[in-house]
Homo-oligomer: A and B are copies of this chain.
Amino acid sequence: MNKEEQVIMGFRDLFNKMVWLNKFKMEESLKGYKSSEVHCIEYIGRNLDSNVTKLAESFYMTRGAISKLTKKLIEKGLIESYQKPDNKKEIYFRLTEQGKVIYKIHAELHKEFQERDKDVFEQVTEEQFDSMLRFVEKYSRHLDAEIKKLGVDIQSE
Binding site for B on A (CB under 8 A): 3-8, 10-21, 24, 59-60, 114, 116-117, 119-121, 123-124, 126, 128-129, 131-133, 135-140, 142-144, 146-147, 150, 152, 157
Pair B17/A15 contact, Cβ less than 8 Å: no
A59 shortest CB reach to chain B, Å? 7
Partner of A157, one of B5, B24, B59, B123: B24
Beyond known contacts A4-B117, A7-B129, A117-B139: 7 more, CB 8 A cutoff: A3-B129, A4-B121, A11-B11, A16-B60, A20-B60, A123-B138, A124-B135
Q: Which residue of B lies closest to A131 (CB)?
A: B128
